Amino acid sequence: MSRYAQNTSVSVAKSVGEIQRTIQKYGADEFGHLEKAGYACILFTMKGFPIKIGLQLPLKTDPQFHKTPKRRNSRTAEQAHDAWEQACRSQWRVLALLVKAKLEAVENGIVSFEKEFFADVMLPDGQTVAEWGLPQVEEALKNRKMPPLLPYSPAPLVRERITDEPRRPRKSQS
């Protein structure tokens, strides 16, 4: 089976620009992207949620780029670099497709924004909900035991009625 966009000529910069335009079209407030060896991510804020979607990128040193796929012949340094760039372009095209599909599903009412992007919500420490929660889910499934939701507190909980009406002062008992 062939991989999506495996022969794309669309540059990484054009894919990043397309992703930015797409999320802004659907109402994103902010956008950014980061890249380092082997990893990239897009960051944006939408509906009050900070979103981070990570993207695994191939490393330039990966042996797959230094040999041809069929005959395993050695490639020149330039050919290896071209093969690596092609793989990166392909990954960015897949990410552009993913983002567009997720936002279209939300726009058409197939799924809510919160549900579709839940795993991608970025927590205050920079992790996504998925990065933080998946180890806990795996542990719960392994042990067949739910993790505690809140730490135990011996102090009694105070419950107040929450309304939109302003609080009225209590009448003094004289």
pLDDT digits 0-9 by tens, 146-173? 877 655 555 554 444 444 444 455 555 5
Sign of CA dihedral 93, 94, 95, 97: positive
- Pair 33, 44: CB distance under 8 Å: no
The answer on pLDDT for 2 being more than 90 is: no
106 pLDDT above the threshold of 80: yes
Residue 72: what pLDDT? 83
Looking from the CA of 114 toward its CB, the CA atoms found within 13 Å total 1
Residue 139 corresponds to which tokens in the numbers above? 């542990």
Candidates 7, 9, 8, 33; CA nearest to 19 is 33
Q: What is residue 69's predicted lDDT score, i.e. its pLDDT?
A: 80
Ranking 44-53, 85-94, 144-153 by mean pLDDT, the lowest is: 144-153
Q: What is the mean pLDDT of residues 136-153?
A: 79
Q: What is the pLDDT of residue 11?
A: 97
Q: Which pLDDT does position 160 carry in this prediction? A: 47
C-alpha distances (whole Å) from 114 to each of 6, 70, 99, 106, 169 are 31, 44, 14, 9, 39
